[in-house]
Amino acid sequence: MTELLANIPTQVISLVTIVALFALLWLLLTRTVLGRGFSVPLRTMLRPVETHEYPEKPRPVQPRFHGRHQLNRYADGLEKCIGCELCAWACPADAIYVQGADNTLESRYSPGERYAEDYQINYNRCILCGLCIEACPTRALTMTHDYEFSADSRQKLIYTKEQLLAEVPEGGEDTPHTDREVRERGLNYYGGLAVTPPTLHGGKYRSAAAAPSARAGTVVPSGELPPSGDAPHDPAAVGGQVRPDTGGES
Ligand code: SF4
Ligand code: SF4
């Protein structure tokens, strides 16, 4: 027997030994409780890493992700919100509070007759469903990709208008504007000057002013400016357009 073993080449003995070791290891991993336990980390070690370095490197969300809301502005800084409360009525969680007020000659916040004097979203209630942004007639309200807004008190989760309002676009001015300033710009805010996209691009908010609009180039402002101290004109006539039901009076 010893003589027979001595005649077997060393390579064959090595091969048989390796195969035997692998077989033993396989039996250990599949047939014993300890082995089955160790097989889990051993298998996981060979898989691609699923751990993400949050918050240092947050994962990008899907393009249509619904995150924190944003109240948008026009290119000149005027607010798009006209205080109509449609968003509040559409909200199934009763999370939105809007207090509308009238724009005046010397204090104009939005191109419409009204603006949102107070605007709050209660994120204790909000389920980020997006029904409110669907209801908004002016695209004043959109949702961003920001989901990092947890807080240590319920009060801090009630966002105010100041927190929700978008930054003033470059070249624009913060509200309020005077009525005359707005008319002098000759912009037609209802012509689709800028459509605010609902998402962030590269982690940065995209301002309404920078957003593309197919109709922007076709809206030609016209109309005479009213003399100073004139009675308040219909805000719907900004840019020279008048409502048909007013018989041409502004
Ligand atoms: S996302 Fe849904 S729940 Fe949240 S404020 Fe809008 S409508 Fe209400
Ligand atoms: S956000 Fe839109 S729907 Fe809500 S009050 Fe303002 S304009 Fe109306």
What global pTM score does this model have?
0.65
Compute the C-alpha angle 33/37/38, nearest 5°: 120
Q: How confident is the model at residue 10 (pLDDT cuts 50, 70, 90)?
A: confident
pLDDT digit string, tens, across residues 106-125: 999 998 889 999 999 999 99
What angle in degrees, to the nearest 10, is found between the helix axes of 10-31 and 33-45?
A: 100
**Ligand 2 first shell, C-beta below 6 A:** 81-87, 98, 116, 135-136, 138, 140-141
132 lines ligand 1 (CB under 6 A): yes
Return the ligand number nearest the Cα of 85: 2
98 lines ligand 1 (CB under 6 A): no
Return the ligand number nearest the Cα of 90: 1
95 lines ligand 1 (CB under 6 A): yes
Choose among 162, 173, 179, 167: nearest CA to 116: 162
On the question of pLDDT at 231 being above 70, the answer is: no
> Mean pLDDT in the chain?
78
From 64, 87, 91, 144, the mutation candidate for ligand 1 (largest count of ligand atoms within 8 A of CB) is 91
Domain with CATH 3.30.70.3270 in the chain: 69-212
Using CA atoms, how far apart are residues 30 and 77, in angstroms rounded to an integer? Answer: 68
Q: For the structural domain made of 69-212, what CATH number should be given?
A: 3.30.70.3270
Question: Nearest C-alpha to atom 2 of ligand 2 is from which residue?
Answer: 136
21 lines ligand 1 (CB under 6 A): no
H-run or E-run covering 98: strand 96-102
Per-residue pLDDT at 1: 65
pLDDT digit string, tens, across residues 42-88: 888 889 888 888 888 888 888 888 999 999 998 889 999 999 999 99
State whether residue 79 is helix, strand or coil.
Answer: strand
On the question of pLDDT at 212 being above 70, the answer is: no
Residues 147-174 have a mean pLDDT of 92
Q: How confident is the model at residue 11 (pLDDT cuts 50, 70, 90)?
A: confident
Using CA atoms, how far apart are residues 26 and 226, in angstroms rounded to an integer? Answer: 90
What is the secondary structure of 119-169 as a DSSP string? EEEETTT-----HHHHH-TTS-EEE-S------SSTGGGEE-HHHHBPPPP
Using CA atoms, how far apart are residues 158 and 155, in angstroms rounded to an integer? Answer: 6
Residues 222-227 have a mean pLDDT of 41
